[in-house]
Amino acid sequence: MFIKQQLMHIPDGFLSLILSLILWVISIITIFIAIRHYTKEKNNQKLPLMGVLAAAIFAGQMLNFNVVGGTSGHLLGAALATILVGPWEAVLVMTSVVSVQAIIFQDGGLLALGANIFNMAVIGVAVSYAVYTILNKVIKKGKWAVGIKGFIAGWCSIFIAALAAALELAISGTSPANIAIPAMGSIHALIGIGEGLITFAALLFISTSKKEMLDETSKGKPVDKSVLVGGVIIALVLAILSPLASSNPDGLEKVAEDLGFISLDSGPLYEIIPDYTFPGIHDERLATIVAGVIGVILIATVTFITTNRKKNSTQEK
Amino acid sequence: MLEVRNLNFAYPENPCLLSNIDFSILKGEKMAVVGPNGAGKTTLLLNLTGLLIGSGEIFIQGMPLCKKNLPAIRQILGMVFQSPDDQLFSSCVYDDVAYGLIYQGKEKELIDRCVLEALQAVDMVDHKDAVPYHLSLGEKKRVAIATVLSMQPQLLLFDEPTMGLDARARKQFIQIVRNLPQTILLATHDLKLAATLCERLLVLDAGHLVYDGDIRTALQDTAFLEKHGLDFE
Amino acid sequence: MSLYIKSSGFLYSLDTRVKWVAVVVIACIVLSIPIFTWAIYILLFSILFSLAIATQLPVKKVFHRTFLIEVPILLVLLPLPFVEKTPPYFFISWADWYIRISQPELLRILALMLRSWLVIFTMVLFTMTTTADKIFSSLIAFKVPAILINIIQLMWRYLALFSELARSMSAARVLRSVPSEKHLRNRFSRVGYNIKYTGSMIGSMLVRAFERSERIYQAMILRGFDGNIRTIQYPTMQATQFMQIGFLLIFGLCFIIGAYGINR
């Protein structure tokens, strides 16, 4: 139930090792800053709020709704979390959701988790926050104001995060930019509408039934300028870079190769490990055959021992 | 043990949730607060814990309830919430029961012993490592009581303790509470439960205290009960 | 809700921290070696599979779970063999026209999927033999901030409750939404109805989350919560566990070096 049709969780093996590590580092730094913010604020009530909200968003992601043509859409929730608890707390909420999806439900990879946190919890939140805060200045009154702001923030968060994921795949050499970016971009431009509409409806529901929940980002609280600027920059860079990269995939590949992200056939450690120290078999086919034989023997032995032991123990009983 | 003088409480949007409440409880007494839904029972309990602060004076074991005394008072006073899911927020029963003790900075061995004793009192020792979500409502309720008992309070507040319990779980609950030596204040709309467990009764209606006295006398006055939305049968 | 199966056996007896290291080591091996090192994939798979058998895990369930995972990102990969211009090709011809499939590209995609599948297989073994609670609380040993762990634990605690709520609300929706004629006729208004309903359900779940968190906070305060997170000390690692971790690291290094040896 949880596993199917998750949005943009990148599995392991689709990103180059170096890029995964870089994104891990960025995510970890962001998480630490978020925690620093939470501790500084000394609003202890937010701890249970973040935990329970993460649970609600996680559960909300299970609710599918039918879109035309047998496809179904569902929620990511970065925009909702940002609007309800503020950007830094939303980073922690989304990090928890994405991490548990990867660890317990194998949704998205383990080494790729850094990238997934970066896309959904960092970019998704920063972009939502930037869009929502800017719209706050533009749309002020009106029955549907909150909902409309939420819709746009939700759509942007999905679309930009998907562009980021596509760019990461392209930089890793997994899929060329002229395929990855249009494919991910167009699918998620559609999925984003679903996200936006749900955010819209959910926010309208909240504004009629428990308005004080929305006070966090709408009024009273000063705008967090660093997140605002960060979100705007991320959104602009990705929005400009993606079409450029997809119209010139070879250029991107060249850049990625120069930076050491791609080393497709040889593996990322090829340069580091020197030539002459290698033990092992130098014929690839022979190695595969030997490995196959060893594997079969290993599995057969373990199966034999285990079944024997099982038999013995049942006999003893 | 507990003394409440002229307690008033109001939310900005909802005036007069409690007005002019005066009562006191003696040590070892078991008392029930009854009233229809929305009478202010939960608000009263939350005021006694200091989670909500109204006007008026509250003394617990002679100590006035104020910010300075809160840590001391929270050692004396424990509250069992209506929904055990709100109270069992850790990932296993042991952690939940130990939570308060960890915050008191107790030693590991002492924590182990207190947790065990508390679980024994509610007959849940076998479920020490269980996940709260997997327990039945009655079991959760008992664990919720243990989380409070482990801190060895002298005054226990219960908010709608039998809500949603089946007959057997209700019986178990009554058994457990009967054996507790603590002073008990029980907020419920279940008059039968109040009658089995308590000697004294407070009736709260729309934020006003309309009765304070022996429970049997009140139960015989059907007109009075009717008037305040209560029903004994 | 998690995959955990209550049982005993070799994988169960290992310390959670050791298992974490094992998972990361295997992921690192799989993801850092040259992509076509089939020998290493085969060896790793045999070892993992033997471990599953030795622990007497239900093999069928393990496989079922690992194949259930559906990755929409695969959409990005699928067209590649048809458009890439790396020879040699397979040709599928039919009457006048043909499809050209790049052989190395197809192989590369298979290898990519095999890699991610191997890591998923490892994770499935891990989560089948370790409770979610242990997995989270052991994170403290890897210097994951206590606040984050606490949020994750709270989330895990209430996730089951909220997904039950989501399920019952969905059921209520299905029971109630006998579509009126208008909905049947107009596809768009039907989608609109669905979205509005789902949005309201999610909205009401969020409202409930908000209210519940208020009560949880009260319960925490009453038991002395002061904003700092205190937990029971995680037991320190024993010599055996250090040895196991050391073994895993050497094992990983051997595999990686071996892989480069084969492929050079």
Q: Within a 10 A sphere around the Cβ of A235, how many other Cβ atoms?
A: 20
Nearest chain A alpha carbon to C156: A55
d(CA A19, CA C137) in angstroms, rounded, equals 28
Which backbone phi and psi does C218 adopt, to 5 degrees? -60, -45
Segment C61-119, tens digit of pLDDT? 888 877 765 555 666 777 777 776 677 777 777 777 877 788 888 888 888 888 888 99
Cross-chain residue pair C158–A51, CB shorter than 8 Å? yes
Segment A222-242, tens digit of pLDDT? 788 889 999 999 999 998 888
pLDDT at B72: 85
Cross-chain residue pair A35–C198, CB shorter than 8 Å? no
By the CB < 8 Å criterion, does B78 face chain C?
yes
- Contact status, residue C77 vs residue C4, Cβ threshold 8 Å: no
pLDDT at A271: 59
By the CB < 8 Å criterion, does A18 face chain C?
no
Percentage of chain A exceeding pLDDT 90: 39
By the CB < 8 Å criterion, does B132 face chain C?
yes
Nearest CA to A7 out of A84, A78, A92 is that of A78
Cβ neighbors of C100 (< 8 A, separation 6 or more) are: C82, C89, C90, C91
pLDDT at A3: 33
User: Per residue of chain B (233 residues), what is the pLDDT tens digit?
Assistant: 888 888 888 877 666 678 888 888 988 889 999 888 878 888 888 888 888 888 888 898 888 888 888 888 888 888 999 888 888 988 889 988 988 888 888 888 898 999 999 999 888 999 988 888 888 998 999 999 999 999 889 999 999 888 888 899 999 999 999 888 899 999 988 888 888 888 899 988 888 888 888 888 888 888 888 888 887 76
Report the residue from C199, C208, C217 with minimal CB separation from A198.
C199
Cβ neighbors of A282 (< 8 A, separation 6 or more) are: C261, C262, C264
Q: Within a 10 A sphere around the Cβ of C80, how many other Cβ atoms?
A: 21
Interface of C with A in 181-240 (CB under 8 A): 187, 191, 194-214, 216-217, 220, 225-227, 229
Q: Which of B36-45, C152-161, C190-199 has the lowest mean pLDDT?
A: C190-199
A97: pLDDT confidence band, cut at 50, 70 and 90?
Answer: very high
Nearest CA to B212 out of B58, B31, B39 is that of B31
- Contact status, residue B4 vs residue B22, Cβ threshold 8 Å: yes
Chains sharing 3 or more CB pairs under 8 A with chain C: A, B
Alpha-carbon distance values, A35 to A90, A115, A213, C109 (Å): 11, 19, 22, 39
d(CA A86, CA A72) in angstroms, rounded, equals 29
Report the residue from B98, B104, B133 with minimal CB separation from C232.
B98
A140 residue type, one letter: K
A306 CB neighbours in chain C (<8 A) are 53-54, 56
A2: pLDDT confidence band, cut at 50, 70 and 90?
Answer: very low
Evaluated on CA atoms A196, A201, A206, A211, the torsion sign reads: positive
pLDDT at A220: 56
C183: pLDDT confidence band, cut at 50, 70 and 90?
Answer: low
d(CA A94, CA A105) in angstroms, rounded, equals 15
d(CA A235, CA B13) in angstroms, rounded, equals 42
By the CB < 8 Å criterion, does B172 face chain C?
no
Burial class (CB in 10 A: 0-12, 13-18, 19+), B191: buried
A206 CB neighbours in chain C (<8 A) are 203, 206-207
Cβ neighbors of B187 (< 8 A, separation 6 or more) are: B32, B33, B34, B41, B42, B44, B45, B157, B158, B159, B160
d(CA A55, CA C158) in angstroms, rounded, equals 6
d(CA C101, CA C78) in angstroms, rounded, equals 11
User: Burial letters for B71-90: b for 16+ Cβ neighbours within 10 Å, e otherwise?
Assistant: eebbebbbbbbbbbbbbbbb
- Which DSSP category does A118 fall into? I
Cross-chain residue pair C209–A55, CB shorter than 8 Å? yes
pLDDT at A179: 83
Segment A99-144, tens digit of pLDDT? 998 999 888 889 999 999 999 999 999 999 999 999 988 887 777 8
HSE-CB for B214 with a 13 A CA cutoff: 4
Give me the CATH code for the A17-37+44-130+214-316 domain, please: 1.10.1760
Domain-wise residue ranges, chain C: 1-130+234-264, 145-231
Cross-chain residue pair A80–C115, CB shorter than 8 Å? no
What's the predicted TM-score (pTM) here? Answer: 0.88
Q: What is this model's ipTM?
A: 0.89
Quick check: C181 pLDDT over 80?
no
A52 CB neighbours in chain C (<8 A) are 154-155, 158, 209-210, 212-213, 216
Evaluated on CA atoms A61, A228, A216, A156, the torsion sign reads: negative
Identify which of A75-79, A150-154, A265-269, B215-219 has the greatest average pLDDT. Answer: A150-154
Residue B9 three-state SS: strand
By the CB < 8 Å criterion, does A164 face chain C?
no
**Widest pairwise Cα distance in chain A:** 78
Q: Which of A173-182, C129-138, C151-160 has the lowest mean pLDDT?
A: A173-182
Nearest chain C alpha carbon to A285: C39
Nearest chain C alpha carbon to A193: C195
Chains sharing 3 or more CB pairs under 8 A with chain B: C
Quick check: C18 pLDDT over 90?
yes
C208 CB neighbours in chain A (<8 A) are 56
Evaluated on CA atoms A188, A192, A194, A195, the torsion sign reads: positive
Cross-chain residue pair C216–B86, CB shorter than 8 Å? yes
Domain-wise residue ranges, chain A: 17-37+44-130+214-316
Nearest chain C alpha carbon to A76: C202
